């Protein structure tokens, strides 16, 4: 399992994984001030939501590389022949994927908070939300990647499959920013994230097994 996580991390680093995600995230976060104008109060009000949207879009970037290339290279055939369970392979992929984009994204959110004039209090809420939400996002990414792996032109479908499923994460993630109802939203965010993390490896494993056939 650790060997699998290390392999995926190494592949992600060598293909510029975290750098790309962080650059894209910051780029999206910068677009909003350009589009909306330099109204500091307005930016501070929408900033947390902007960060969540940017994080979601950035998380889409590496999705195609997670499962498809390995399937083509016969990597999963070799796992199966060695009797490794596809569920643990999918779990390893989820962990590796989260490590490669979750923490870098949380660091980049600090920068984005500066760009968007967020208060320290809001930033803290964003960071807590991201820490809870990004594992769910990683799990969703692995499932999506496994589901579209065998599809021709999977790239275009990826966003269509993943974004609607990520809407609960976005709603509750942005909900945690609300000072009044924040605590409830954090619990719901954690619940959604937990369901995704717990269920995703099984769905991804089934999708990979179907693709092997």
Partner 1 sequence: MSLGFRDVACVRGGRLLFSHVSFDLAAGDAAIVTGPNGVGKSSLIRIAAGLLAPFEGRVACDGDKALLTEAAALDAERPLVAALRFWASLDRAPDPDARVARAVRALDLDALADIPIRLLSTGQRRRASIARVAASEAPVWLLDEPANGLDSVSVARLEAVIARHRAGGGIALVATHLPLGLPGAQEIAL
Where along the sequence are the contacts to partner 1 (CB under 8 A)? 3, 7, 10-11, 14, 72-75, 77-84, 212-213
Q: How far does the chain reach from its first CA to its final CA, in angstroms?
A: 24
**Which of 69/103 has CB closer to partner 1?**
69
Distance between CA atoms of residues 183 and 105, nearest Å: 22
Q: Which of 181, 43, 39 is nearest to 118 (CA)?
A: 43
Query: In the complex, what is the shortest distance from the CB of residue 70 to partner 1, in angstroms, rounded to a whole number?
Result: 9
Query: In the complex, what is the shortest distance from the CB of residue 112 to partner 1, in angstroms, rounded to a whole number?
Result: 31
Q: How many CB atoms lie within 10 A of CB 118?
A: 25
**Which of 11/45 has CB closer to partner 1?**
11
Distance between CA atoms of residues 146 and 69, nearest Å: 11
**Which of 35/81 has CB closer to partner 1?**
81
Q: ∠ CA(47), CA(53), CA(57), 5° rounding?
A: 140
**Which of 85/119 has CB closer to partner 1?**
85
Query: In the complex, what is the shortest distance from the CB of residue 69 to partner 1, in angstroms, rounded to a whole number?
Result: 9
């Amino acid at each position: 399992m650790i060997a699998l996580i290390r392999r995926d991390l190494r592949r992600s680093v060598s293909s510029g994984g975290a750098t790309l995600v962080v650059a894209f995230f910051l780029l999206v976060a910068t677009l909003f001030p350009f589009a909306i104008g330099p109204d500091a109060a307005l930016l501070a009000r929408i900033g947390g939501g902007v960060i969540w949207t940017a994080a979601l879009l950035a998380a889409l970037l590496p999705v195609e590389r997670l499962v498809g290339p390995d399937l083509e290279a016969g990597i999963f055939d070799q796992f199966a022949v060695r009797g490794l369970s596809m569920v643990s392979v999918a779990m390893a992929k989820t962990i590796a994927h989260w490590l490669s984009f979750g923490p870098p994204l949380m660091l980049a959110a600090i920068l984005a908070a500066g760009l968007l004039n967020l208060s320290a209090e809001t930033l803290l809420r964003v960071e807590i939300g991201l820490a809870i939400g990004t594992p769910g996002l990683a799990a969703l990414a692995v499932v999506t990647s496994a589901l579209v792996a065998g599809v021709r032109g999977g790239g275009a479908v990826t966003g269509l499959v993943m974004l609607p499923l990520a809407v609960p994460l976005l709603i509750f993630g942005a909900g945690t920013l609300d000072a009044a109802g924040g605590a409830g939203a954090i619990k719901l965010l954690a619940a959604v994230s937990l369901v995704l993390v717990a269920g995703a490896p099984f769905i991804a494993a089934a999708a990979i097994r179907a693709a092997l056939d």
